[in-house]
A and B are shown apart, each in its own frame.
Chain A
Amino acid sequence: MTTATVSRWDRFRESFFWYSFKRDKVAILSFLVLLTMVLAAVFAPWLAPTNPYDLAQIDIMNSELPPVGMAGADPAFPLGTDAQGRDLLSTILYGTRVSLVIGFGAVLLQAALGILFGLLAGYLGGKVDAILMRIADVQLSFSTLMVAIIVGAVFKASFGNLMFGEIAIYMLIFIIGVAEWPQIARTVRASVLAEKKKEYVDAAKVMGFGTGRIMFRHILPNTLSPIFVIATVQIANAIISEAALSFLGLGMPETQPSLGSLIKSGFDYIQSGSWWITLIPGLVLVVLVLVINLLGDWLRDVMNPRLYKG
C-alpha cells in the first residue's frame, strides 16, 4: 500500500468543504467579516481608544457627541459618545466581546445539554424519550425567548439588581443555554434515531460495548454535522436573545454593556436626536448576527447531502 502521508492541512485543502467554500463569495465575505469582528472583540483592550469600564477615563462633558462627519463631532471619538460621555467605538468593541462570550458560552451549554438529552432520548427511547421530548415540546411551544425572560425575571427577583449585575454574564449563559437546549436535543435525537437502525450499531452491541460507549463513541460522531449546522445558527440566536434580555433590563448592566444593553441605553436618547448611541451598536449587532446566519446557511447546504443535486 501507500507510504505517502497526507497531512491534515493537505487533506483539508482537498476537501469538498474547502472546495465549496472557495466557490461561495457570500460565505467567504461572511467569514472574513466574522473573523474581523471576533478578532476586534478579542483584542478590544488593545484596540479600543479608551477603557469604558474605567470611570477615570470618562468625562461627562463629552456626552452625546455625534460621530465624525456630523456637525459638532470630536475626532477623538470617531463614532461619537454616549450619554455618559463614553467613547462609542470603545464601548462597541467591549460590547461585542461580551455579546460573543455569551453567545458562544450559551451555545456550548446548550450543546452539552442538547447532546446529552438528545442521545438519551433517541438511544434509550421509551419513557425517557417521552418525558424529555414532552419537556422540549412545552418549552418550544412557549418559545425559547419567553422561557429565557421568565428564568431571567426569576433570577433577577431572587438575586436582586446589584448581585445580578455582577454575575450577569454567567447568568445569561445559563439562562439562554437552558432555554434553547430543545433545539439541539431534537436535532440530535432525530439523527440518533436514523443512526440507530444502521448495522454498525448492531455490530458494536454484538461486540459487547456498553450503552454509554456506543452512544458517545459510535453514534455521536456520526451525528456531528447536523449539530454543527444548528449550533452555528444557535450562536446567532443566542446573541439575539442576549440582546433582547439586556434590552428588557434583564441582562448586562450598563456599567458592563453588551450590544443589547448599549442599544437599550441609547434608546432613551433617540427622541432627543442622538440616534447614533442606539443605531450604531444596533448595526454592529445586525451585521454580526447576519454573517453568522449566512455562514449557517452555507454550512447547511454543504453538509446536507440531500441538497447536492440542487
Chain B
Amino acid sequence: MLAFLVQRISQALLVMFVISVVAFAIQDGLGDPLQEMVGMSVSQEEREAIREELGLNDPMVIQYLRFAGNALQGDLGNSYFYSKPTLAVIAEHLPATLELVIGASLIIILLSVPIGVYSAIRPQAWLSKFFMGVSTVGISIPVFLTAIVLIQLFSIGVTVNWFPSDTAWGQWLNEALSTEGGLPSYGRGEHLTPLFGTWESGFFTSEGLMHLLLPSVSLASIMLPLFIRLIRAEMMEVLQSDYIRYARAKGLSAWRINFLHALKNTMLPVITVGGVQIGIMVAYTILTETVFQWPGVGLMFLEAITRSDIPLIVAYLMVVGLIFVVTNTLVDLIYGLVNPTVKLTGKKA
C-alpha cells in the first residue's frame, strides 16, 4: 500500500513540476511585470534598477525557483484586471464551475449506467440500437452547439406553424412540436445560498437549480455518448467471460448475474476512464460557461485571455493542472481499493 502511494504521488509531483515549468515559461515569455507596475513614464535607468530589485535579471533557474517557491506558499501573483491575488479570484469563481461539473456528472452517471447496461444485455433490441445511433450523432455535435440548440428550444422557445392550424391534427402537431422556452440561459440566478467561504450554492433554491439545468445538460452531452459506449463495450466483453457462464450454470437469477457479477466487473475499467474524463470535463466548462455566461473559472479564463491578464492565465493553468493531477491520482487509488486483484503494490497481482 505504501509503495503504491509513494509511486503514485511521486508521479503526480513530476507532472505538477512539468506543468509549473510550462506555466512559468508562459509567464516569462508573455508577461512584462514592469509594464504593468510602472507604466511608460519611467526612465531606462530606473527601470533597470527595478528589474534588478525584482530579480528579473537573475538566471532563469533562480527565477523559476522563486516562482515555484511562491506558488507553494499559495502566491501566484496579482491579477492585472481584478488587482487582487489570482488565487482569490479563482476561489471566487471555482464554486460555480464545480457545481456545473457536479450537475453534469450526476446526469452522466444516472443516464449512462442504465442505458449502457441495457444496450449490452439486449444488443439487438430496437431501443439499444436507438441509443447507439443517438450516441454516434451525439459524439459528432460540439458542446457549444448542443448548448445553442438547447437555448433555442428551451429558453427562447420555438413556434411551429408548418401545419394548417384550422384543422385539429394540424393544430395538435403545431403545438406538439413547439416549445415553450422560458428556462434561464444566462448566469446562475440572483438568489444563491451562501455555504462557506466564497462558496455560494445554487443547489438549494429552485431558481439556482433552474439556472443549472441547461448548462449542466450541455456539459453532460459531450461525455454521455462516450460513457454509454464505454459501459456497453465493457459489459458486453464481461458477459462473454467464463465466470458469467459459470454463474448461469449455478442457477443464479439473470438479475443477480447482470447487476452483481457483470456490473461489478464492468465498472472497474469504467472508474478509471470515468475519473479521467471528469477531469477533462473542466476543459469543456470553458465552452459551456462561455455560452451561458456562467460565472465560473472557465469564463474567467477566457476573459483573462482577451484582457491579456497573464498572472490570472498562469494561475488558472496551475490550478487546473492540480485538479487534473489530483483527480487522476485519486482515481488510481480508488481503483486500487475497489479492485481486489490490485494489491496496491503498483503491480497487478
Contact = CB atoms under 8 A, between A and B. Distances in A.
Nearest to A260: B142
B107 interface: no
**What is the predominant secondary structure among interface residues of chain A facing chain B?**
helix
Interface string B305-349: 110101001000100110010001000000000000000000000
A290 B283 contact: no
A138 B282 CA distance: 15
B145 A263 contact: yes
A279 B153 CA distance: 12
A281 to B, nearest CB: 9
Interface string B147-168: 0110110001000000000000
A46 interface: no
B26 interface: yes
Interface stretch (A7-15, A17-25, A89-97, A147-155): A147-155
Contacts of B306: 249
Contacts of A142: 280, 283, 321, 324
A270 B15 contact: no
B290 A248 contact: yes
A236 B140 contact: yes
A141 B149 contact: no
For the complex, would chain B's binding face be called helix, strand, loop or mixed by DSSP majority?
Answer: helix
A169 interface: no
Contact of B286 (A149, A156, A275, A278): A149
B144 interface: yes
Contacts of A243: 142, 144-145
Interface string B209-252: 00000000000000000000000000000000000000000000
B156 A270 contact: yes
A157 B308 contact: yes
A267 interface: yes
B286 to A, nearest CB: 6
A32 interface: no
A2 interface: no
A282 B286 contact: no
Contacts of A3: none
A229 B324 CA distance: 29
7 contacts: A141-B328, A143-B279, A240-B140, A247-B290, A275-B152, A286-B137, A289-B141
Given A154-B30, A282-B149, 10 more contacts: A154-B26, A157-B305, A157-B310, A157-B313, A247-B142, A247-B144, A248-B290, A267-B148, A279-B148, A279-B149
Interface of B: 14-15, 18-19, 26, 29-30, 136-137, 139-145, 148-149, 151-152, 156, 276, 279-280, 282-284, 286-287, 290-291, 302, 305-306, 308, 310, 313, 317, 320-321, 324, 328
